[in-house]
Amino acid sequence: MRFKRGDVALVRFPYSNLRTAKRRPVLVVQADDLQSGLSQTIVAMSTSNMERAGHASRVAVMKSMALGQRMGLLTDSVVMTDNLATVFVGEIDRVIGQCDDMTTVDAALRHTLGLA
């Protein structure tokens, strides 16, 4: 299955110790048609811990808003572009929604990666 930028999918996202993981929604941030030859994609973790919001590398998404509903999120969430992972596409369970406006995510990614 091919995933596209802006897809919100469920995946076992690794903890920083790389020994354990938790199934959670992620946002695909990798460019479409990157053609790297690898069966993997770059994703940003999301969390329902709203205390993590308020940082320039993070985007709060409210379930009650239209974007939150299109993204298929069950709770208010924070997309954390400062917590990226490269995951094997076979480990992605399924797409649950779509972030059709990546403007704020792109700004957060620029902050995280130090791009002007």
Please check whether residue 2 lies inside any domain of the structure: no
Number of Cβ within a 10 Å radius of residue 44: 27
Residue 81 sits in a domain of what CATH number? 2.30.30.110
The residue segments making up the domain with residue 37 are: 7-106
E strand or H helix at 111, and its extent?
helix 103-113
Yes or no: say if 32 and 4 are a contact pair by the CB < 8 Å rule. Answer: yes
Distances (CA, A) of 92 to 7, 23, 40, 108: 11, 10, 10, 23
Yes or no: say if 25 and 46 are a contact pair by the CB < 8 Å rule. Answer: yes
Please check whether residue 45 lies inside any domain of the structure: yes
Dihedral Cα 79, 62, 52, 46, nearest 10 deg: -30
**Rg of the chain (C-alpha set):** 13
pLDDT tens digit sequence for 78-114: 999 999 999 999 989 999 999 999 999 999 999 999 9
DSSP 41-98: EEEEEEES-GGG-SSTTEEEE-TTSHHHHHTT-SS-EEEEEEEEEEEEGGGEEEEEEE
Please check whether residue 40 lies inside any domain of the structure: yes
Note the pLDDT of residue 1.
65
pLDDT tens digit sequence for 26-41: 999 999 988 889 999 9
Number of domains in the chain: 1
